[in-house]
Copies of this chain bind each other. A is one copy, B any other.
């Protein structure tokens, strides 16, 4: 829909889009595959096919480049969440939750590296970020879920007695785990939680929703 602001120095912003993209992709690859500390500006310029000098004219420091990559990932995630919220306003809580999951899977399919960086960041101590920035990322996800929960309570779909904050935290953790497992297939080996297996994916969605809806207890 609307474009993200282009990061980096003015020089970078004035570059032709193909080159911008080439550099940025290389950065995303590098950070995603090695993490912040191990990512090497040397490898990066080699991959991007530009000179060291240029890279540092585009982004003044490794940290700036990383921040740009992260901001971009966060912005894209946010946009996804917003879209889901708007497009599902009429649906029931559990339908919305299902949408959310499926939108998450789709996001990962479309931006696997961004997803990787996003997940890395969410749970990692490394990275040159104050905890504040990370906490904000979390709040973003939880806040979104809290909205869903509250409006469902208002409509009488969910029990009144629920502790909204705690519940949002737990739901968030469930969805996040699921998505993380999806993007790193190896996390759930043998569980069929990946693109190739649409049926299995359906079953995952159903199982998760069932847990959240009904709990486990025999009645």
Residue A215 contacts which of B37, B176, B189, B211 (CB distance < 8 angstroms)? Answer: B211
Q: Is A1 an interface residue (CB 8 A)?
A: no
Chain B residues near A184 (CB, 8 Å)? Answer: 125, 131
CA of A94 to CA of B216 in the docked complex: distance in angstroms? 10
A91 located at the interface, meaning its Cβ lies under 8 Å from any Cβ of chain B in the complex: no
Stretch at the interface among A67-75, A81-89, A99-107, A152-160: A152-160
Q: How many copies does the complex hold?
A: 4
User: Which positions 172-187 of chain A face chain B at CB distance < 8 Å?
Assistant: 173-174, 176-178, 180-181, 184, 186-187
Interface residues of A (CB under 8 A from B): 34-35, 37-38, 93-94, 120, 123-127, 131-132, 134-135, 138, 156-160, 162-163, 165-167, 169-170, 173-174, 176-178, 180-181, 184, 186-189, 191, 203-204, 207-208, 210-219
